[in-house]
Structure 1
Amino acid sequence: MAQCHKFQDLEETGEALVGFINSSQPDKLTRVKDEHQALFDQHVETTNTVTQILKDLAQIEETVGQRLLDMEEEKKRREMELESLEEQLRQCTAKSQITDSELQFLQRELESLRNTEHELEAIQNEVDEDTTEVIPSAVYVAQVYYLITKIKWEYDTPPNILKGVHYGADLATPINLDTSTRCRSDVSDQLWSFISTEW
């Protein structure tokens, strides 16, 4: 608005200058010329000032715009980091829950194994007690059977195999019977056949 007004002043001054030239008054012409030069100089200075202000404003706008873009980029980066951390937290929480479940399962298994171990120890103690009582009598019975039957049995055979040696008066006879293929009475008869009826 002020610049428009100055241009109007310049026009008026120019018209006054033309009028003074026409009136041929050298002192007024010089004064008008000086005023015109001063106005022109002021116009140039104002133009330079406005141009510099516009340049500074454009520079400020560019700087502010760049800072705004940088801040938007930083905001996006922070949001991505936050999402990544939230995802890691979710995964860690899930893993922690799975680990807790596995730990509880293993603790139950350990407790069960300890109970089983205690039961086995109790059974072993019972077996040890029974063994100390039964083995001497079992040895005695086996010795009595041997004295009567003269048959020495092998005890590390499968359950359905009877294996041993009958020590007769003149001859040792091996015994190897599969009880799964023969009836019990046949097996019994064959074993009794080794026993001498002479007393």
Structure 2
Amino acid sequence: MSGGDKFQDFEETLEALVAISSSQPEKLIGVKNELKALVDQHAETKQIMMQMLQEVAQHEENVGQRLLDVEEEKKRREKELDSLEEQLRQCTAKSQTMDSELQFLQNELDMLRSSEDDLNALAREVDEDTTEIIPSAIHVVNLFHVITKIKWECDTESHILKGVHYGKDLATPIQIDTSVQSPCDVSDKLWRFVNPEW
């Protein structure tokens, strides 16, 4: 039975109560009981409605709190995403810098390898020249020693001639500074050590 039907019944009951109040007191007691039952039912319905409204309000509050929590989580995730994007930008910039440095170092390495190849080629040429020239130079020096009996020191300054002449009876040290004497004077001094008798 709906609330409108109950109030209509209540009005009908009041009308019946007025009509029979003077002639039928037992009907009045029945109406009174019916009225009490109606009031009790109304109070129970009101209590149920209040409870339902409280539950709806609690539900709305819970939904609102969850919505706030979701918004807060969304903001936190957005900040985290911004931070990750910034880190990605920094890493990308660092990677580009490292790529440039790596390219520079690779170019330097290529230049060093090229220089090493050039040095190896030059070393081969020197080895070939040494193989051909040094034996003949050694032969000339040995021949010069046999003729002059002079043994030269090689670790002197370039303008100093230093050595020892091994004569018949004694060894004579030689030290001539070519920067202060003419080549002719130097030659004369050296020829004096040579024995004209073979």
TM-score category, normalised to shorter length: 0.7 to 0.9
The change in CA–CA distance for 1:84 and 1:97 in structure 2 (over 3 A counts) is same
Give the total of aligned pairs: 194
1:196 and 2:187 aligned = no
Conservation of the 8 A alpha-carbon contact between 2:165 and 2:193: no
Conservation of the 8 A alpha-carbon contact between 2:159 and 2:179: no
Q: Distance in 2 between matches of 1:81 and 1:99?
A: 26
- Any gaps of 5 or more consecutive residues in structure 2? none
Q: Distance in 2 between matches of 1:183 and 1:98?
A: 58
The change in CA–CA distance for 1:174 and 1:73 in structure 2 (over 3 A counts) is farther
| 1:133 Cα offset (Å) | 1.8
Q: Distance in 2 between matches of 1:188 and 1:38?
A: 155
The change in CA–CA distance for 1:160 and 1:35 in structure 2 (over 3 A counts) is farther
After TM superposition, the score normalised by the length of structure 1 is: 0.75
> How is 1:117-132 mapped onto 2 (pairs within 5 angstroms)?
117-132=116-131
After TM superposition, the score normalised by the length of structure 2 is: 0.75
Q: Distance in 2 between matches of 1:75 and 1:175?
A: 98
- Any gaps of 5 or more consecutive residues in structure 1? none
| 1:186 Cα offset (Å) | 7.3
Conservation of the 8 A alpha-carbon contact between 2:162 and 2:174: yes
Aligned-pair identity (%): 58
User: How much is the aligned-residue C-alpha RMSD, in angstroms?
Assistant: 3.8
Q: Distance in 2 between matches of 1:165 and 1:198?
A: 15
The change in CA–CA distance for 1:169 and 1:41 in structure 2 (over 3 A counts) is same
Q: Distance in 2 between matches of 1:90 and 1:161?
A: 69
